[in-house]
């Protein structure tokens, strides 16, 4: 990725450790029209795991990926395999009742074993390691929340306990600790799993962007620029569904970005995976580095996608936070990821909607995609086989809890959409001459609103910043040098090319 001087001033190489330490794949693009049993759109953890499970069950599967598999959100995770999702269980019991909260707990704890058993069955070398997970309190107030979470999780059958000692050199007030959790190198795991998919009628296609889905009562067609894929069922494993026939999901999820640094310490990192309970999320874990040493991944600083702020500050704040806990020997990597939050904090997994029973979605993982994505693959594989799944109810996309929080969320999202469609937040500012190398901003060019980026060689890249999805105005993301849409999280490079849906069409160029 191209960097302006501003982005160059940030700490670490701008690359995911997972992507840098695995070979690039070279699956072919779709060669033309195709018929298969199941089409999986999206090659991240949900798509690849679904394809592997369906193939094992005897189905012919076609995986369609717009770019390279595992280079999207899955390639930019912190890769904790845990059912400890910061603080969620006390809230789930309150909101859904014990029975459905138990379904969520069991689905995520079972996902750890699903990954472990696939690693064992296929002998996948992916640094899979059992580790405990902690959510720690940083204040007296949150100590009670953490203790309540331990009680709630234990009541649901999870391996939870409240502990006083947290082995991090930070001021803490106890933690909820889950035993029997794990970590791994997600791309080593998934690329191996993906290599098992092709054959016996199953295939993976890269550089093939899905543009449209039609569900004609059990005969579904996915249209791409390179041909169509026809099948009995389609799994949309693209995070935000680019196809929203009921027109409902677009108001029910919020896109959110978060940041990670890969750092080196002068001392060993304590065994475990950690996240705080208070304020902005801060997450820690370690990972064997290629040189035999240890990389420590510190993450957090989440915010709504497309906020009109200088996103470089999030990396800087994360660095300052990391340095407040440990003296850092070096900062080797930096990367960021995007995920979606649902109204009630639980993903949507299952049939898209009534009348679209053969199109399945899995989205809204709230940053806990390793286990929720694996659970989604299990649930959808069961559904396609016509088998009952014990966790499907809590994840049902057509659930709706008319709680006050849900109404507030909807009102907030509609309000945000109106502001961004009107461009009230991304207002044009200044002239072309004011745009420094490495800077991007919205301004007026020849009487039209333009998103302008001047690269380090001084070349101007100018686009129409109106998102091709539903028309909100994209904002410049200075840390990643992309145009990000605040409404549903579509992202485009500096020349307007789509790098993250739900948009499927590039931004138009403006003369610059």
* Residues contributing to the site for ligand FES (CB under 6 A): 467, 469-472, 485, 487-490, 502-503
Distance CA 41, CA 67 (A): 11
Shortest distance, position 503 Cβ to ligand FES, whole Å: 6
Nearer to ligand FES, 299 or 465 (CB): 465
Shortest distance, position 110 Cβ to ligand FES, whole Å: 33
Nearer to ligand FES, 6 or 502 (CB): 502
Tell me the C-alpha to C-alpha distance, in Å, between residue 489 and each of 41, 224, 235, 338: 18, 21, 20, 8
Q: Is 407 exposed, middle or buried (0-12, 13-18, 19+ CB in 10 A)?
A: exposed
Shortest distance, position 470 Cβ to ligand FES, whole Å: 4
- Sequential DSSP letters for 157-190: T--EEEES---SSS----EEEEEEEEE--HHHHH
Distance CA 86, CA 252 (A): 22
Shortest distance, position 485 Cβ to ligand FES, whole Å: 3
- Sequential DSSP letters for 93-156: HHHH-HHHHHHHHHHHHHHHHHHHHHHHHTT--S--EEEEEEEE-SSHHHHHHHHHHHHHHHHT
Shortest distance, position 257 Cβ to ligand FES, whole Å: 14
Nearer to ligand FES, 275 or 487 (CB): 487
**Residue 420 three-state SS:** helix
Nearer to ligand FES, 172 or 311 (CB): 311
Nearer to ligand FES, 172 or 305 (CB): 305
**Backbone angles phi and psi of 318, in degrees to 5:** -65, -40
Shortest distance, position 472 Cβ to ligand FES, whole Å: 4
Distance CA 487, CA 472 (A): 6
Nearer to ligand FES, 234 or 470 (CB): 470
Contact 73, 501 (CB under 8 A): no
Nearer to ligand FES, 182 or 475 (CB): 475
Maximum Cα–Cα distance across the chain: 64
Distance CA 452, CA 442 (A): 6
Shortest distance, position 488 Cβ to ligand FES, whole Å: 3
Shortest distance, position 276 Cβ to ligand FES, whole Å: 30
Nearer to ligand FES, 50 or 426 (CB): 426
Nearer to ligand FES, 423 or 437 (CB): 423
Shortest distance, position 271 Cβ to ligand FES, whole Å: 41
Nearer to ligand FES, 367 or 488 (CB): 488
Tell me the C-alpha to C-alpha distance, in Å, between residue 479 and each of 113, 315, 446, 482: 36, 8, 28, 8
Contact 509, 495 (CB under 8 A): yes
Shortest distance, position 468 Cβ to ligand FES, whole Å: 8
Distance CA 83, CA 315 (A): 27
| Structural element, H or E, at residue 203 | strand 203-205
For the record, the structure tokens of 139 come out as 């204040």
């Amino acid at each position: 990725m191209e960097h302006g001087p501003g982005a160059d001033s940030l700490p670490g190489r701008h690359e995911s450790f997972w992507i840098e330490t695995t070979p690039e794949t070279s699956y072919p693009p779709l060669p033309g029209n195709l018929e298969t049993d199941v089409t999986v759109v999206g090659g991240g953890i949900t798509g690849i795991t679904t394809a592997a499970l369906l193939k094992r069950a005897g189905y012919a599967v076609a995986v369609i990926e717009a770019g390279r598999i595992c280079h999207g959100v899955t390639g930019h995770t912190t890769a904790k395999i845990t059912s400890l999702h910061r603080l969620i269980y006390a809230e789930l019991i309150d909101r859904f009742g014990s029975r459905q909260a138990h379904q969520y707990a069991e689905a995520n704890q079972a996902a750890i074993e699903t990954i472990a058993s696939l690693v064992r069955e296929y002998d996948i070398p992916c640094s899979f390691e059992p580790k405990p997970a902690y959510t720690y309190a940083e204040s007296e107030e949150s100590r009670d929340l953490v203790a309540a979470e331990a009680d709630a999780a234990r009541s649901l059958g999870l391996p939870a306990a409240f502990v006083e000692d947290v082995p991090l050199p930070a001021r803490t007030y106890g933690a909820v600790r889950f035993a029997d959790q794990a970590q791994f190198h997600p791309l080593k795991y998934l690329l191996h799993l993906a290599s098992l998919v092709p054959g016996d009628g199953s295939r993976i296609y890269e550089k093939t962007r899905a543009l449209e889905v039609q569900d004609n009562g059990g005969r579904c067609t996915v249209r791409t620029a390179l041909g169509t894929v026809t099948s009995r069922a389609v799994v949309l494993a693209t995070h935000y569904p680019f196809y929203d026939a009921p027109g409902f999901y677009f108001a029910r999820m919020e896109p959110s970005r978060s940041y990670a640094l890969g750092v080196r310490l002068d001392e060993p990192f304590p065994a475990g995976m950690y996240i705080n309970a208070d304020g902005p999320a801060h997450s820690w874990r370690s990972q064997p580095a290629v040189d035999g040493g240890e990389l420590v991944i510190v993450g957090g600083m989440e915010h709504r996608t497309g906020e009109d702020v200088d996103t470089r500050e999030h990396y800087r704040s994360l660095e300052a936070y990391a340095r407040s806990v440990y003296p850092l020997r070096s900062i080797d990597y930096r990367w960021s990821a995007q995920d979606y939050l649902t109204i009630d904090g639980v993903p949507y997994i299952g049939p898209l909607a009534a009348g679209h029973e053969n199109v399945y979605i899995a989205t809204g993982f709230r940053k806990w995609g390793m286990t929720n994505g694996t659970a989604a693959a299990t649930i959808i594989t069961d559904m396609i086989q016509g088998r009952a799944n014990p966790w499907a109810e809590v994840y049902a996309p057509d659930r709706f809890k008319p709680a006050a929080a849900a109404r507030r969320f909807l009102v907030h999202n509609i309000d945000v959409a109106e502001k961004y469609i009107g461009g009230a937040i991304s207002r044009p500012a200044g002239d072309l001459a004011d745009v420094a190398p490495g800077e991007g901003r919205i301004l007026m060019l020849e009487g039209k609103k333009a998103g302008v980026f001047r690269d380090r060689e001084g070349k101007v890249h100018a686009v129409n910043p109106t998102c091709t999805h539903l028309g909100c105005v994209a904002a410049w993301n200075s840390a990643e040098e992309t145009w990000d849409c605040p409404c549903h999280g579509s992202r485009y490079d500096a020349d307007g090319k789509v790098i993250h849906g739900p948009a499927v069409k590039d931004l138009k160029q403006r003369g610059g």
